[in-house]
Amino acid sequence: MAAISVRQLGKQFRLGLKMHNTLRDQLAALLRRDRKSSSETFWALRELSFEIGPGEVVGIIGRNGAGKSTLLKVLSQITEPTEGEVRILGRVASLLEVGTGFHPELSGRENVFLNGAILGMSRIEIRAKFDEIVAFAEVEKFIDTPVKHYSSGMYVRLAFAVAAHLEPEILIVDEVLAVGDAAFQKRCMNKMSEVGRQGRTILFVSHNMGAVEALCSRAILLQNGRLEKDGSVAEVVDAYLGHASADEDLLQNQDSRPGNGKARFYSVHYQDHAGTKVQSVRCGDAVEIVVQYRVAVPLQSPVLRMTLYSSRGVAVANLDTEASAISVAASGDVRLSCRIDCLNVAVGHYSLNVGMADFSGLIDHAIQIAPLVVESSNYLGTGKLPSADAGMIVFRPSWNVEAR
């Protein structure tokens, strides 16, 4: 029997155009007999069906707004489905955030008990694992200090340590590994894969394809709330990385992106030296990133920032108009391009985060868009390139060898 079985699941949200957010408005509306809700709705999930067997470790992937978080919230019983049903066999623990319910005024010890209880552990269970939790988090010395005095690293370690010691049959994990330092992330990954080997069912959401590939055997790709692909992790990650054109997504999820929307990106793509649109370049080639956005409300000295990410979620380079002292057009329909003469990064898959902000705050932020494949080339003049596993940047070194 399946540990999780999802049948024809749908979740509809009302885009709160005409929600009466105050009693006063509601009463006024009642008096006007204006009870028609003219709000728009959209389906965050639709006609989703899949089954997950006991002990399977499954990655849920997809772009922002694809419905991953909504799916996790429905499975965690935080929000109710609009249609369809889910059957879950076994105790579920969900980790949509680390440190839920942590209170800054309370000591580490008090927070461990509180957080453990919130995550569904009994007092006896927490007491039994307390020393182990504190040791895992490496905060023994500070366990009776209020957590407001913790460094952010200590805070995250303690919070994750509590979660890592849950023993449910089914574990649902959202992008919580994106926090903390690299060494601790690695320990978390090890702890999680340990959990997987104990025959526990795990659902894991991440943008970090490296982590998904390392932990999961199977993956499910969501797009616009529907199941796009379900299969072996290698197959599904490939489908995700090579997925459609970014422009299409950029146009579709404009409303669900963060930012105040005074301007919205509608196209981000790459061009080669000849001005042809490309999705792959060779290591060491020139490439031009073209960003187009439309301004609805005039901006005040906006700043545009792009970060190139590897498929393993590592930030490779940052392109920042402020750092380059470039002023960005603040009104109209804008085409901005950024030329990199020599893209000397390792062979592999990349994507961009593109964000814009001004004095009024964040304007738009598009995450994980514009996939780019960097292919092998004769950059070093030898026909060989260093292994992509060992580093992100390919230098053209000058060697000098002297035998004495």
Give the residue with the Cβ less far from other proteins, 104 or 298: 104
Nearer to other proteins, 11 or 63 (CB): 11
Residue 225: Cβ within 10 Å count: 23
H or E element in which residue 52 lies: strand 40-52
Tokens 């616009």 identify what position? Answer: 224
Other Cβ atoms within 10 Å of 278 Cβ, number: 15
Q: Segment near other proteins (CB under 8 A), from 76-84, 203-211, 298-306, 373-381?
A: 76-84
Among positions 185-204, residues that touch other proteins (CB under 8 A) are 199
Question: Site for other proteins (CB under 8 A): which residue of 43, 50, 51, 110?
Answer: 110
CB of residue 258 to other proteins, shortest distance in Å = 16
Stretch that binds other proteins, among 104-112, 127-135, 233-241, 360-368 (CB under 8 A): 104-112
Element (H, E) at 305: strand 303-310
344 vs 284: CA distance, rounded Å: 4
Shortest CB 74 distance to other proteins, Å: 7
Strand partners, 350: 310, 372
Sheet strands (E) in 118-169: none
What are the CA-CA distances from residue 6 to residues 10, 221, 229, 271 (Å)? 10, 15, 15, 42
C-alpha to C-alpha distance for 199 and 170, rounded to whole angstroms: 10
Distance CA 273, CA 396 (A): 21
Residue 129 as a binder of other proteins (CB under 8 A): the answer is no
Binding flag, residue 103, other proteins (CB under 8 A)? yes
**DSSP letter, residue 254:** G
Nearer to other proteins, 88 or 171 (CB): 88
Q: Which stretch binds other proteins (CB under 8 A): 34-42, 95-103, 214-222, 388-396?
A: 95-103
285 to 161, 307, 346, 359, 377: CA distances (angstroms) = 45, 19, 12, 36, 9
Per-residue interface string for the shown chain with other proteins, residues 140-179, x marking contact by CB under 8 A:
------x----------------------x----------
Closest distance of CB 61 from other proteins, Å: 21
Among 18, 29, 64, 97, binds other proteins (CB under 8 A): 97
Our finding on whether 29 is near other proteins (CB under 8 A) is no
8 A C-beta contact, residue 250 and residue 352: no
> From the CB of 50, what's the least distance to other proteins, in Å?
15
From the list 59, 62, 81, 196, which residue makes contact with other proteins (rule: CB under 8 A)? Answer: 81
Contact 212, 237 (CB under 8 A): yes
Site residues, other proteins (CB under 8 A) = 13, 20-24, 26, 54, 73-92, 94, 96-97, 100-101, 103, 105-106, 110, 113-114, 117-120, 122-123, 146, 169, 199
